[in-house]
Amino acid sequence: MTKTRLMASAAALALSAGAAQAEYVLHVLHTNDVHSRVEEINKYDSTCDEETSAAGECFGGVARIATKARELMDQIAAEGGNVVLLDAGDQYQGSLFYTTYKGKEVVEFMTAIGYDAMAVGNHEFDDGDEGLAVLAEGVAFPVVSGNLDLSQNNRLKDIVDGSAVLEVGGQKIGIVSVLATDTPETAAPSDSVIFQDEIEALTADAQDLTDAGVDKILALTHVGYLKDQELAAKVPGVDAVIGGHSHTLLGDMEGAAGPYPTMIAGAGGAEVPVVTAYAYSKYLGHLVLTFDDAGNLVKAEGAPVLLDASVTPDEAITAKIKELGAPIEELKNRIVAETKAEINADRDICRARECVMGSLVADAMLDRVKDQGVTIAIQNGGGLRASIDAGPISMGEIISVLPFQNTLATFKLKGADVVAALENGASQIEEQAGRFAQVAGLKYTLDPAAEPGSRISEVLVMDGDAWVPIDPEAEYGVVSNNYMRTGGDGYAIFETNAIDAYDFGPDLADVLVEYIVNQGADFAAATDGRITVTEGAAAQ
């Protein structure tokens, strides 16, 4: 049986003595994939500058999360209601705040905001087990993930819970959780963190809570919107799924991937709401669940709240951000280059087809090592974390794009293995997986509608001034990043088949800066057709 922690919710608001009634209404406030966006962000999801902030065109930041969460909790309290504040993982990684403070800042801000529980995200493992321990030990609320077998891990087994129970308004609210099983490929958990099947683990934990008399159960997950819908359909006993990982926007606004909540026919016959709230602190999700006196969910409604300039950032947290930001302000604000046009790194594009940022970063990588006999560059789309607007480029913006401190890795690979690597990149395109291959020095055709393993065709490489089909038996010089070269994002073939690998090149962020500077004052990045998506797939 999975270990469960019982806690009185810091945000739990008891019903007044005279308000007992058959229906129980629970407000679920939630965030996900904040990714170290401690400061407010611009429309490109990177740190906002003073001019944009003064114009009232910034969003999010932890100080705005605090203001809106407290405002809603106070309002709900005044109405005699019940509320919890949850996070669905990936607080870590994405700005200089994480690079500098390695999770200690997350502990401070999440505690100040008043979260009640958090799911483990894959990026909480970016600095290994110890990185997650900083968070799990530092906060007073439960940090949960039910499909992790931590029995062999002495560092995490007593501080990361499988599930939790929050007492809210006289009722027990169960929290079950799962983490994407490909986390060993996307982050750095140790071998003693054993991943179990998400559906099996969630089913077992929900049943344990049901057997313990908990009749209101929320799944707080970090597996992505598509998987969340599958969990909602297949796991009995779960009343709602609050998710993260895929950075999905839900609601009735332009660009939303589906309704908020998305209602799924559940295993027990009742509909199960699935929600998620985009990413980068831009929205605060607000789901309202109504249960009857038997604990059955009878209504689900709500919407994500846009944290725009109409939300005044919390003063105390803003002051703390300024204090913690002082040591990194000089580096962050240093102007290093300029671009005549926006450099787009939209997640929906960079994980499915050629994107401007992907081609730029791959070109920069290849340019840096072209005199070493390297002719091919492969960069994972998931490693590109922000766009850059036209005009001056600060080092802070560059690090927002490439926050992982990856280094250039060079090696040789047979042509057949290069094609296999491209197939890996396209293998989870329907899930917007970060492994999608942005490239330089080669071209390829992609059919997303084909079966995984047969989606790539017409792979071409340069021979002199001409594009020619790749030779499966020939060896090619390849540049990637050290994360991919050592098997990250499913690129196991880089780890097992690489010849003469060297993983200790310059930081990728520095390589990008140098390349942009060398392009001159009229620099403007663009795509050039190096990745072709078939017509049939594009028409779907």
Predicted confidence (pLDDT) per residue in 375-414, tens digit:
999 999 999 999 999 999 999 899 989 988 788 999 999 9
Contact 392, 516 (CB under 8 A): no
The pLDDT value recorded for residue 363 is 97
* Buried-exposed string 432-464: b where 16+ CB fall within 10 A, e elsewhere: bbbbbbbbbbbbbebbbeeeeeebbeebbbeee
Mean pLDDT of 41-68: 92
The SS3 of residue 31 is strand
CA dihedral angle for residue 527, residue 529, residue 531, residue 532, rounded to 10 degrees: 140
Predicted confidence band at 137 (pLDDT cuts at 50, 70, 90)?
very high
Return all residues near 327 (Cβ < 8 A) that are at least 6 apart. Answer: 100
Find tokens 């750095």 and name the residue.
188
The pLDDT value recorded for residue 4 is 52
Structural element, H or E, at residue 240? strand 240-242
Return all residues near 59 (Cβ < 8 A) that are at least 6 apart. Answer: 40, 41, 42, 43, 48, 281, 282, 306, 307, 308, 309
> Could you give the residue ranges of the DSSP H alpha helices within 128-271?
128-138, 183-186, 198-211, 225-234
Nearest to 206 by CA among 220, 226, 222, 196: 220
Determine the Cα–Cα distance for residues 194 and 54; give it in Å rounded to an integer: 48
Predicted confidence band at 503 (pLDDT cuts at 50, 70, 90)?
confident
The pLDDT value recorded for residue 538 is 41
| β-pair partners for 475 | 414
Query: At how many degrees (to 10) do helices 198-211 and 225-234 cross?
Result: 50
Residue 21 has pLDDT above 70, yes or no: no
> Could you give the residue ranges of the DSSP H alpha helices within 290-355?
315-333, 347-350
Return all residues near 527 (Cβ < 8 A) that are at least 6 apart. Answer: 354, 355, 356, 359
Residue 212 has pLDDT above 50, yes or no: yes
Burial of 51 (0-12, 13-18, 19+ CB in 10 A): exposed
Q: What are the residue ranges spanned by the domains of the chain?
A: 4-14+22-322, 335-538
Out of 31-45, 179-193, 205-219, give the one with best mean pLDDT.
Answer: 205-219
The pLDDT value recorded for residue 331 is 81
Pick the CATH number of 4-14+22-322 from 3.40.50.920, 3.30.420.40, 3.60.21.10, 3.40.50.150: 3.60.21.10
Amino acid of residue 141: F
State percent of the chain over pLDDT 70: 95
Determine the Cα–Cα distance for residues 407 and 510; give it in Å rounded to an integer: 9
Torsion angles phi and psi, residue 125, rounded to 5: -100, 10
The pLDDT value recorded for residue 12 is 34
Residue 213 region by backbone torsions, left for phi larger than 0, else alpha for psi between -120 and 50, else beta: left
pTM equals 0.79
State percent of the chain over pLDDT 90: 84
Return all residues near 166 (Cβ < 8 A) that are at least 6 apart. Answer: 7, 8, 9, 12, 84, 116, 117, 172, 173, 175
Give the tens place of pLDDT for each residue, 337-372: 999 999 999 999 999 999 999 999 999 999 999 988
Predicted confidence band at 374 (pLDDT cuts at 50, 70, 90)?
very high
Rounded (5°) CA angle 373-374-375: 115
CATH topology of domain 335-538: 5'-nucleotidase;  domain 2 (3.90.780)
SS (H, E, C) 397-431: HHHHHCCCCCEEEEEEEEHHHHHHHHHHHHCCHHH
Helices (H) and strands (E) counted in the chain, each on its own, are 17, 27
Give the tens place of pLDDT for each residue, 175-197: 999 999 999 987 889 999 999 99
Give the tens place of pLDDT for each residue, 265-305: 999 889 999 999 999 999 999 999 999 999 999 999 999 99
The pLDDT value recorded for residue 261 is 98
Return all residues near 15 (Cβ < 8 A) that are at least 6 apart. Answer: 80, 82, 169, 170
Determine the Cα–Cα distance for residues 429 and 380; give it in Å rounded to an integer: 12
CA dihedral angle for residue 492, residue 496, residue 497, residue 499, rounded to 10 degrees: 120
Mean pLDDT of the chain: 92
